[in-house]
Amino acid sequence: MITIYTNKGIKHKAQSVIKYHGTNNIYKICDMQNIFILKNNLGQANGLLQHDKTTDQYLIHINKNLEHQEFVIAHELGHYFLHKKLNTFKVSNCSNVLKNKLEQQAHIFATELILTDQILQDALPNIREFSKENVASYFKVPLFVAEYKVSQFRNRTDNLINLTNRVGALG
């Protein structure tokens, strides 16, 4: 059975991984899960999660030539925590739509893992007037990570402001 997570469910999963491991440091999480990271020249691929059945060992292969290697590792951790029971080779041969959905879920997991709400909240005094590009540079993450988190954060802030305005109008 394939579990299709909502964005909120993925966020909760990332938060539970952080809470369980006591960190959002991807290298420490890999170490605690006994997942080895191998940096290779993977050609067009950014990374992949591999399971060796004979040793029951997980490996994350990442392209050594990437700028945002930490994001790729976090993305592969997303596959580990969300999809490790799936045979992804069968999935990718059966349905591009499902494959794309699983990739999107791993992206969201990675985003929530490496750029938590708390990290964003703590940095808010410094980044309040930043563009999305500046936020990405500040946190050393891909632009789409900053865009996703900033829009998510702004939506939540806008909802709080609107709620406050409505409550004030009702009072």
**DSSP secondary structure string, 13-57?**
HHHHHHHHHT---HHHHHHHTTEEEEEE--TT--EEEEEETTTTE
Considering the chain, what is the average pLDDT of its residues? 84
Q: Which of 76, 112, 129, 147 is catalytic?
A: 76
Q: Which helix (H) or strand (E) holds 136?
A: helix 132-139
Could you report the per-residue pLDDT of 72-97, keeping only the tens digit for each?
999 999 999 998 877 555 555 566 77
Question: Are 5 and 29 in contact, with CB atoms under 8 Å apart?
Answer: no
At 91 the pLDDT is 55
Closest C-alpha among 21, 82, 77 to residue 47: 77
Is 103 marked active-site?
Answer: no
pLDDT band at 128 (very low <50, low <70, confident <90, very high): confident
Tokens of 149: 């988190």
- Mean pLDDT, rounded, for 108-133: 92
Q: Domains plus CATH for the chain?
A: 7-170 (1.10.10.2910)
